[in-house]
Structure 1
Amino acid sequence: MKSNATAQAVAELAKVSQSAVSRSFTPGASVSEDTRARVLSAAKALGYRPNALARSLITRRSHIIALVMGYLENQFYPLVIQELSQKLQRQGYHVLMFITEAGEPTDGVLAEILQYQVDAVVMASAMLSPGLARQCADTGVPVVMFNRVPQMSSFAGSSTSSVTSDNRRGGRMVAELLLARGYRRIAFLGGLENSSTHRERERGFNEALAEAGTAAVGRALGHYDFERAREATRELFSGADKPDALFVANDHMAIAAMDVLRQELQLRVPQDVGVVGFDDVPQAAWGAYQLTTVVQSVEQMVDATVDVLHEQMRDGSQPRNVVIPCRIVERATVRSA
């Protein structure tokens, strides 16, 4: 049966203020354990449950964070959803998730998101147009791009921050590793041209090759898609001057590439072809693949994202771009030193 108990009734029974009742039901709020215990006991006796919608009208905070995902096929992003959702929930926030078309602007979805009075938006594997960024800024809703970097000239005046790994440095490390292990005909299997992660990884990779006096022997796009990565691998190995190594822009596509190399082309990894991915998803360590890859720390990236969210929601701090260091984990898809 629905209870008509109010916060004031709970406060009177517990002999505390009404604000103490509110703090007792707010994760992370300042309230003594004795006060919290008395409030919870009184609430249980009266059948009282806090009304989040009513509280949001008073505080003008919904405690809802919108999470916008472009796609979930890449195994990296389910890890992000789990880590981010759990961390925010422990702090009293709820995650409202929206799925958009991969690689497409999210204008239509964001217009809908703003109707939910969200406190902030996290964009992961999704594209944000400058117009929508400014609209979010105008309504006081901060935006954090996860694993993407906005083109700052286009986003001037917006409240858009970003958290990424050091994609450029990661690309450099891959080129340096493959060259050090004796690979000379190295190709790049990229993602999406309009993705900052793709651009920065390729940029660092090409810079390191150029400094060593060489260049990539081939380039194809897998669009961060398993089947298209398989097609791109066939394309790269269709000519006479076949690569002896592949840098693949994420692990999801690297696994697809390895399947083609070993099962269709009958090539040995790493003896005939070295393969390096990016992300270090759990599947990369599976016995069938043992993929050498660049590690992106989901935990560090999520922690930084939540920190930036709080800064922006609390005092409207200036947007900032956080870059998390990355490293290579060597497994069995490159030659030994």
Structure 2
Amino acid sequence: MQYPPAPACRLLWRVIDGQAVIWRYGRMKKKEPASADVAKLAGVSRSAVSRTFTPNAYVSAETRAKVMAAAEMLGYRPNAIARSLSKRRSGLVGVVCSDLNNPFYAKLLELLSTALQQRGLGILLLVGDASRMDELLERLLSYQVDGILLPASKLTSRLAVQLNQSGRPVVLVNHHLREGSVTTVGGDNYAGGVMVADLLVAKGFSRIAYVSGPQDTSSAVDRGRGVQDGLAKHGLALAARASGEDRRDVTQQVMRQFMAMPNPPDAIFCANDLMALAAMEVVQGEFGKAVPDDIGIVGYDNTALAESTLHALTSVDQNLPLMAAEAVRILMDKIDGRPVDVSHIDITPQLVLRSTTR
């Protein structure tokens, strides 16, 4: 039998009947290359190897090339877990999201993740509805994440404050707390509501109804105040108002009630695009009304669904790229220990006009 030469193999000997014989044979476990091996082969210091694999750390182009070539030859990969232990950081940011069925939140999650990855951080994503939020947040804290982003529309104020008191840097995204104890980044929902009111009145609509999301969320409240105050400037009041709960079936039922009124609305403002599309289904499919000739419809968030030629929905764009960038910037300042006051950044929205508003 041919055995590979040492040290690639391991031979264990045992004396049997006075003679030494091979008792067991096995291949030696290959040793994983370490940063010291890379440094030696590249002819640089171990700190240079560390800087090469640390995002945004300075290292000269020549040194980087040497280190990367040596790492490739040895098959070296930096150990993220060991690095996190030495730096007392996990390299992870916790994200709690409650509604990925809404393309708005799916896009926001993509933008947040990309911005964090550009800074060398990964995300630990937990998804669940409001009834499971306590459980999810406890689990999130147990993973020792470096910071927390909360693009959760149904997050209660109590839970957000509890997170903030844990000592972890926290930033709320697209959600405001009335007591002002947690840093938030979101769209100016009140201004968005005013814009919708001005648009619908300018287009000749006068009986305008509002379909909000869950009534205990800041976005639902602020968008409602905005459209109500905007109509008041023109001497009008809301013709009707109800919560669609961010759900297609609930919104459809609300629309049936609106259309059964003696003098039904001639325009509907929905607090997100999903509800606006549900409203269109009822108006056109069940009541045979033409959009926008008989009834105008405006959504919110300017998702890909609104952009499609099939729907061509007029909607309010919240500038998600800026919202995500600002949220990550503030969180990184908090993580790195730079002074950050509790702040509330409101990003100005923009109306995107399409064919559902004349």
TM-score (normalizing by structure 2)? 0.87
Q: Alignment partner for residue 106 of structure 1, among 133, 142, 147?
A: 133
Q: How far apart, in 1, do the equivalents of 2:160 and 2:308 lie? A: 40
Q: CA deviation at 1:176?
A: 0.8
1:40 aligns with 2:68: yes
- Partner deviation per Cα, 1:52-84 (whole Å, 9 max, x = no partner): 011001111111111111111111111112222
Q: Secondary structure at the match of 1:277?
A: strand
- Partner deviation per Cα, 1:160-203 (whole Å, 9 max, x = no partner): 31111111000000011111111111100110111111111011
Aligned residue for 1:200?
A: 222
Aligned residue for 1:73?
A: 101
1:330 aligns with 2:357: no
Q: Secondary structure at the match of 1:224?
A: coil
Does the 8 A contact of 2:153 with 2:174 survive in 1?
no
Q: Alignment partner for residue 84 of structure 1, among 102, 107, 112?
A: 112
Aligned residue for 1:252?
A: 274
Higher mean alpha-carbon deviation, 184-193 vs 39-48, is at: 39-48
Amino acid at match of 1:225: R
Q: Secondary structure at the match of 1:287?
A: coil
Does the 8 A contact of 1:105 with 1:127 survive in 2?
no
1:274 aligns with 2:296: yes
Q: How far apart, in 2, do the equivalents of 1:260 and 1:3 lie? A: 66
Aligned residue for 2:236?
A: 214
Q: Alignment partner for residue 305 of structure 1, among 320, 323, 327?
A: 327
Cα RMSD (Å) = 1.7
Q: How far apart, in 1, do the equivalents of 2:164 and 2:50 lie? A: 29
Q: How far apart, in 1, do the equivalents of 2:77 and 2:31 lie? A: 8
Does the 8 A contact of 1:221 with 1:229 survive in 2?
yes
- Partner deviation per Cα, 1:64-107 (whole Å, 9 max, x = no partner): 11111111111111111222212211221111111111x44722
Does the 8 A contact of 2:153 with 2:217 survive in 1?
no
Amino acid at match of 1:174: V
Distance 1:113 1:243, change over 3 A: same
Does the 8 A contact of 1:220 with 1:232 survive in 2?
yes
Q: CA deviation at 1:150?
A: 1.6
Q: Alignment partner for residue 150 of structure 2, among 120, 123, 127?
A: 123
Q: How far apart, in 2, do the equivalents of 1:194 and 1:132 lie? A: 14
Number of aligned residue pairs: give it: 329
Amino acid at match of 1:148: H
Aligned residue for 2:256?
A: 234
Runs of 4+ that moved beyond 6 A: none
Amino acid at match of 2:334: Q
Q: CA deviation at 1:139?
A: 4.0
1:136 aligns with 2:168: no
Q: Secondary structure at the match of 2:356?
A: coil
Q: Alignment partner for residue 4 of structure 1, among 3, 26, 32?
A: 32
- Partner deviation per Cα, 1:103-155 (whole Å, 9 max, x = no partner): 447222111001111111111134444554444344431111111112225x3
Specify the structure having the higher radius of gyration (Cα). Answer: 2
Q: Alignment partner for residue 52 of structure 2, among 24, 33, 37?
A: 24
TM-score (normalizing by structure 1)? 0.93
Q: How far apart, in 2, do the equivalents of 1:282 and 1:29 lie? A: 37
Aligned residue for 2:206?
A: 184
Does the 8 A contact of 1:106 with 1:127 survive in 2?
no
Distance 1:105 1:188, change over 3 A: farther
Aligned residue for 2:4?
A: none
1:318 aligns with 2:341: yes
Q: How far apart, in 2, do the equivalents of 1:210 and 1:141 lie? A: 43
Distance 1:249 1:65, change over 3 A: same
Q: Secondary structure at the match of 1:106?
A: helix
Gaps of 5+ in 2: 1-28
Distance 1:3 1:299, change over 3 A: farther
